Amino acid sequence: MAEPLTTSALTITKTHCPYCALQCGMNLSSEGGSVVVQPRDFPTNRGGLCQKGWTSAAVLTTPGRLTQPLLRRSREAPPHPVSWDEALDYVTERIRDIQRQRGLDAVALFGGGGLTNEKTYALGKFARVALRTSQVDYNGRFCMSSAAAAGIRVFGIDRGLPFPVTDLDDADAVLLVGGNVAETMPPFSQHLRRAVDLGGLVVIDPRRTATAEQAALHLQPAPGTDLALALGMLHAVVADGHLDHDYISARTNGFEEMWRIAAQWWPERVERVTGVSAADQRAAVRLLARAHNAYVLTARGAEQHASGADTASAWINLALALGLPGRPGSGYGCLTGQGNGQGGREHGQKADQLPGYRKIDDPAAREHVAAVWGVDPAELPGPGRSAYELLDALGGADGPRALLVFGSNPVVSAPRAAHVAERLAALDLLVVADFVLSETAELADVVLPVTQWAEEDGTLTNLEGRILLRERAIEPPQGVRSDLDVLHGLATRLGQPAERFPTDAETVFEELRRASAGGVADYSGVSWERLRDGEQLHWPVPAVDHPGTPRLFLDRFAHPDGRARFAAVNHRGPAEPPDADFPLLATTGRVLQHYQSGAQTRRVAELAKAVPESYVEVHPDTAARAGLAEGQLSRVVSRRGTAVARVRVVPSMRLDTVFLPFHFAGDQRANLVTNPALDPISRMPEFKVCAVRLEPAPGEES
């Protein structure tokens, strides 16, 4: 159990919400052991918070908070409390033994998109320098990787929103593809208010969500057909006379090659594939084309596919055809999901990356970063496995035999979750740093209790590329250490100089600045002093007197010739189409009250009471054919496993589609059924569509 928070006098700390990438501004007031959340006026939320944000302080004192390391020397024995020295000594000894017997890549790390920039940086450095392993990746591969790949392909750079979110306030029309912001980031919705009031919001989603309810036009494609819909709408842009010829000539390359594909996808053909009428496709295009200020925004619904990078690229193609990116008052953006989803993919915890968004196989990048780290570039490993491929290989003959997990819960969040749990159980060593016994921590040989968001200093980078300082508001419970302390303790035991792995977050950031200098995500001009003074700094910030770059692409794109590149992409459909045995399409997503794997929000009484268990949304006719009714327990069965969920009959659902939230554990895990088919570019799993059938749970037959 956690020690009570002891604060002798009232203190108020400016900070940011621990959940999504909107990073809403809030104040934490602490006095006499209690902590109270108060919203504050910040550009992304303007004094608003969602239910998760309002209740975020409750997570700090959740029952079951870990305050002492846990160790078990055999899988049959229960974990028991030990000292930090005993825990770290044991982990170090086991790492050395495993690497001695099986090589450096026999030890792997798995990080998270909620870790601060400093922790992300230190984690990647620890992997490459202290462990000298190539086997490091993170859960952001499950979140933003397809949009990132598309942005790099088309624009030459990946930043979720290449403009401040407040620019959307003046939008006449917004096309939102695969996002339900009314539930996933409610304060964001205020930035769409003008578009809503003018009848200019178009939402593309297989479900009629709370966001779709606000739209003037809701396009409801079959899951896995988003790319075909993008091609059909682009065809309508050209055929109906909306193509911005001057923009394409002046600022882009590759239109002709892309058009040879899109020319084959006339809206009537697309209607047969997607279920979206040709008339609605053309109406959506007209809204965008006739608007003075128009935006195309994509989110996970468009990206979590085995063709996710191509699908995101197709929606960028549509924006380019209309001349939106880089035009003041218009543009394309991607709604980053996790709290530090942007910064988390910039500074080295990805398998193919070094700090500053550099590529690990680039000789110049290796030389620059190795010089900052004080090592030989030749000693740095090359690219490793992507997230799911890493988890899939665990415990195998050629895979890692040890895994260290920071800021992630893959037993719930990974696709084909039962298989991932089996691979974790096959390891010789599993170490998890967490604040509670998450579902992944329950399998661990060693659990290390670490600080939470309000108990530590650090920076995060929100969905706009805005770098934020989150300062410590309260002292952590006695016995808890930060992730930086953990990495320092392990690194020094592995023979690294103590000064190479500092425990002070600001010191780590100063090194990150140097490592990122000259990179795509250049933070070298950012300092904590500038952030404390309230400067609004969007990367790149290449010098201490540079004001930051809130709007990219105004003059040029990030390719060497300054031009955007249309991507010649074609529709290929879901990796697993329905058939007689599995006739339905399952898609997954978030709900208002919960976040990611639920490790935090399921421990907040108010949130757990509001949504205590998993459910499956299904059309009433589809439910009846499966012998199910409102409120019954059902089994959602795929080729990979079965999830148990309570039926919610929703008349607006497509007859061929069911929806599951992915926040729940045990046999309610949506990811027991999801398909790990990977995008060939981004290595993103296909979370958003798989073939399933519905049947009554035992004892629930009609």
Q: Three-state SS for 25? A: strand
Alpha-carbon dihedral sign for residues 492, 344, 107, 431: positive
Q: What is the pLDDT of residue 7?
A: 42
Q: What is the pTM of this model?
A: 0.95
Burial class (CB in 10 A: 0-12, 13-18, 19+), 510: middle
Burial class (CB in 10 A: 0-12, 13-18, 19+), 628: buried
Q: Are 196 and 214 in contact (CB under 8 A)?
A: yes
**Mean pLDDT value of segment 219-248:** 98
Q: How many CB atoms lie within 10 A of CB 563?
A: 17
CB count within 10 Å of CB 282 equals: 19
In percent, the amount of the chain with pLDDT more than 90 equals 95
Mean pLDDT score, 593-601? 93
In CATH terms, is domain 145-334 a member of 3.40.228.10? yes
| Same fold yes or no, 70-142+340-538 and 145-334 | no
Cβ-based neighbours of 606, under 8 Å, separated by 6 or more? 51, 55, 58
Q: 584-696, which class in CATH? A: mainly beta
Q: Work out whether the CA dihedral 359, 113, 183, 591 comes out positive or negative.
A: positive
Give the pLDDT of residue 701: 63
Rounded mean pLDDT, 344-354: 95
Structural Rg of the chain based on CA atoms: 24
Averaged pLDDT for residues 469-481: 95
The model's confidence at residue 231, banded by pLDDT at 50, 70 and 90, is very high
Tokens of 428: 């010789």
Using alpha carbons, select from 555, 696, 559 the residue that is nearest to residue 618: 696
Query: Residue ranges per domain, the chain?
Result: 70-142+340-538, 145-334, 584-696
Tell me if 593 sits within 8 A of 426, measured CB to CB.
Answer: no
70-142+340-538, CATH topology level: Rossmann fold (3.40.50)
User: Residue 173 is inside which H or E element, if any?
Assistant: strand 173-177
pLDDT in tens, 65-98: 999 999 998 888 899 999 999 999 999 999 999 9
Torsions phi, psi for 388 (to 5 deg):
-65, -40
Residues 434-449 pLDDT 10s: 999 999 999 999 999 9
For residue 81, the cross-strand partners are: 70
- Band (pLDDT 50/70/90 cuts) for residue 288 is very high
